[in-house]
Structure formats: structure tokens, C-alpha cells
Structure 1
Amino acid sequence: MIYVRTVGPLMAHKKQRKNRILKSFVMVSAFLLLITLIFKIIKINPGFEGDNVIASSVHALCGLPDPCPMDHLAFKISSGATDLIGPKICTDGKMIIDGMNKNGGQGINIAVVNGQTGELISTATFDMWNGEVEPLIEFLKTIKDGSFVLMASSDDPATRLNDEARTRIGELGSSYISVLGFRDNWVFVGGKGIKSMKPLEQHIRNDKALNKYDNWPEMLEMQGCIPYSKEPGLELITNTFWLK
């Protein structure tokens, strides 16, 4: 004889109730495990603050291998490669210049950031092959004290440069701007009116015998953390560390 067992509404209701109880138990267990872990971390490090851990993880963006301190700006910058791959400038997880599409292009690409808050002030690209140098000079004049300035080359950054443009970029902390030449690759992070900020830059000459891409040198890239200034124009009193 064959017996067929049917599950009525009451049995189904009991099964659903058991499932809800099981899910609740799993969620409560996971929550208690998290609380236990946090207390263990606090015991190991009395100075631990949960908010700082969450915020620090944000500062690890832009592809940096380690998070920056909370009073620092995380950045990553790369030059273009040949005339096909554009430059990139990223600060605190925001890609503010990206290739030839988002605010980027041939020539000198610039991002100006508030040195106290990390807020983006402006971006600009100046074509130093087909364009004119005067717009670049006028833009450099508008940069205010207390600003971080990030620059990246793409294709040719130098043909239209004149002495005034080179001098103004040099005043931001660049050492290589005086020798920057046709199709050289160059990345630079400096500041205006921040006396003790340590500028950082890389430069590689266009040399057909040494170039990675025939008529163009290889891409340059650097990344790191910039300490925020306390007041525009004042010296930085926090330590700076750089990651390459």
C-alpha cells in the first residue's frame, strides 16, 4: 500500500517559522562575533577608534597599497604613453583626470586641490603642440596660496613653453620644468605658498635610442600621501611620506 503524506497550511507555517528562527540565530551570532572582535582590537590597541578605521580605508583608494593617515591626501598620478594613452590623476579615490576623455588631453594636465581639505578646485589641459602658452600662464596666475598642484604630461608637454611658464611652474616646486623637452614624460606634485612641502616629480627624456615606444618614452607613475596644511601659506608641521 502506498501512503502519500501531504503538508497542510499548518505544517508549512511551522517550517517557515523554523527558517526565520534559524536566520535570526545566524544574524545574532555574526553580530556578537563582530562585537567580540572589536573588543579584542580595542584591548590590543587602546587608541583604536572605529570611525578612524572606516575613514582610513577610504584613504586607501586610488590604488595605494596602504591607507594614508587621516590628515593626508591620497594621490596617484601617471603620465600619458605615446599619443594614444592619456594621463591620469586620482585624489582620495576620485579620478579627476582620466585619459583623453575626462578632463585629460595632449600637453600639460593640471589638477589644483585645496591644501587644507583635499577638495578639488579646478582642472585644466593645455596643448603645448598645437595650442598657445598664454592660457597656461593665466591659469597658473590664478592658483592661490595653500593649494596642491598635480601635473602630468601627455604626448608633447614642452614645445610651446616659454621662460615665464617654466618659471611659474618652477615656483610651485618643479626642478625638471627647466629642462622639459619635446615628448618628454613628466609627472609632478607641488604646491603654492606651502613653504616646507616636499615636491615630488619624475622625468624621463625622449630619446629614440632608449624609448620604450619608439618615438615616445615609457609611462611614468607615482603615488603617495600629502599632509594637509593647517593654514594657507604656513609651513607643514606633519611628516610626509611618499610611495613609489
Structure 2
Amino acid sequence: MRVTDLLRILALIFVLITSWIFIYGYFSFSKRTIGLPPWLAGSDSKKIRVVKNKCGLRKPCADNYFAFKICSGAANVVGPSICFEDHMIMSPVKNNVGRGLNIALVNGTTGMVLKQDYFDMYAGDVELLVKFLKGIPDGILVLVASYDDPGTKMNDEIRALFSALGSSNANQLGFRDSWVFLGAKDIKNKSPFEQFLKNNPDTNKYEGWPEMLELEGCVPQKIL
């Protein structure tokens, strides 16, 4: 047998063996069950449940407590927001916030939002704020967020009214300070829900303004 004939036979055997391996592998693969990872599997797999706390709080509130989150404005660019029991009362998206003091009134027993408004403390009429604060009845929660400038037109009467609501920092609130606060009309002591940051060129986060403040927590429901 010539060498060329032998090479042809060996080549043919190689092709046959290779073809057999390919065909066997193909049909074996087609019979396999392909397992999907859990996140792509169907209804039989365990579902991942994401729990969202009211107002995006880090921890849920206990029974008979209301969840809230108050954010001050960022300089004069981003407006403040006030959330209560997962209801966004005031925010830039709702287009109901403004320069100065943004205030929401909530029934401390039912959690119902009664009123919200903002008061320009730079060029506005502060008597409107005085009237608003004096008209707050007992049992009402008061949520406050500053924006841009909350203190230029602040006077002693307004400071006293906020102090009566439980504020510890209203007496020093001034030009472009940051302030967030939750108090009540018939509070007996100072409120534990308050943050304050002085406008200071040496420590300001923004040019001309201190950083934005965020206050969140659980306030006890007033039981009648």
C-alpha cells in the first residue's frame, strides 16, 4: 500500500471519529436540563421582598408612632421637603415650597395633614407668619424646614412662638441658617426633634450657605 493511500485512510478515520464526537456531544447537550439562577427563575423560586419604611426611614416606627422626615433646602437651589406617614406634604416636585420657612400642620392624634404654607423671611410680611403660628390649636404637630434665608425678618415675637412649640434654636436663627424642626402646640418640654446649623463662611458647605439638614424619626401619637 502506498503512503498516499494510507494517509487518505487515516484522514477518513479522523473525519469519522470527529463527526461521531460532535454528533454525540450535540444530542447529549440537547437532553440536558439548563438550570437558571434564582433571580431568573420562575414562580417556583423564592421571591425577594424589599421592605420600604414610611418616608424612607432607616428603621420602621413602632405602633402608635408616626414616621416623619424633614429636609431643609440646599442653599437657594434645591427646595426643602416634608414627609409624614409616607405622605410627601411639601417638596420641590409638588411645587409648594418657597424661600424662608416651610411649615406643615398635622393632627397629632389622627395624622391628618391640616395645612401647609411657606413664609418669605427675607422680603415677605412676617405678620402673616405671626398670625399663622398664633392660630395653631392644641394637639397639632408643627413641622418646619428652612430654605435659602429663614432669619432676616425673624423678630422676638416669632422666636417666642417657636420656642413655645418646643424649639431650642429659634432664639439664634439668623440669615441663611439651616433649620429643621418638629414641635407641638401643647408640648411640655423642649422637642427632641430639631437640627440647626449656623451660616459660617469658615464651615459652610455651599458658597454662602451651610449644608442641607435631614431630620427623621418617630413621633408618638397623641392618645385622647
Structure-2 residue corresponding to 1:117: 110
The residue correspondences of 1:8-47 to structure 2 (distance < 5 A) are none
In the aligned structure 2, how far is the partner of 1:74 from the partner of 1:100?
A: 20
Structure-2 residue corresponding to 1:105: 98
Rg comparison, structure with higher value: 2
* SS across alignment from 1:62: helix
Structure-2 residue corresponding to 1:217: 210
Are 1:70 and 2:44 matched, yes or no? Answer: no
In the aligned structure 1, how far is the partner of 2:122 from the partner of 2:94?
A: 18
The residue correspondences of 1:44-63 to structure 2 (distance < 5 A) are 60-63=53-56
TM superposition shift of 1:70? 2.2
TM superposition shift of 1:198? 3.7
In the aligned structure 1, how far is the partner of 2:187 from the partner of 2:221?
A: 10
Structure-1 residue corresponding to 2:137: 144
Equivalent position amino acid for 1:146 in 2: G
* SS across alignment from 1:212: coil
The residue correspondences of 1:117-136 to structure 2 (distance < 5 A) are 117-136=110-129
CA deviations on 1:68-121 (whole Å, 9 max, x unpaired) are 112111000110011110001000111101027532110000011101011101
In the aligned structure 1, how far is the partner of 2:154 from the partner of 2:113?
A: 25
Does the CA-based 8 Å contact 2:167-2:190 persist in structure 1?
no
In the aligned structure 2, how far is the partner of 1:230 from the partner of 1:145?
A: 13
* Higher RCO, Cα 8 Å, sep 6+: 2
Aligned length: 180
Structure-2 residue corresponding to 1:89: 82
Does the CA-based 8 Å contact 2:101-2:147 persist in structure 1?
yes
Per the normalisation by structure 2, the TM-score is: 0.75
Give 5+ residue unaligned stretches, structure 2: 1-41
Does the CA-based 8 Å contact 2:150-2:176 persist in structure 1?
yes
TM superposition shift of 1:196? 5.5
Equivalent position amino acid for 1:218 in 2: E
Give 5+ residue unaligned stretches, structure 1: 1-25, 34-56, 232-244
Q: Which moved more, 1:136-145 or 1:196-205?
A: 196-205
Equivalent position amino acid for 1:161 in 2: M
Percent identity, please: 48
Equivalent position amino acid for 1:229 in 2: K
Per the normalisation by structure 1, the TM-score is: 0.69
In the aligned structure 2, how far is the partner of 1:175 from the partner of 1:68?
A: 25
Equivalent position amino acid for 2:62 in 1: P
In the aligned structure 2, how far is the partner of 1:197 from the partner of 1:183?
A: 23
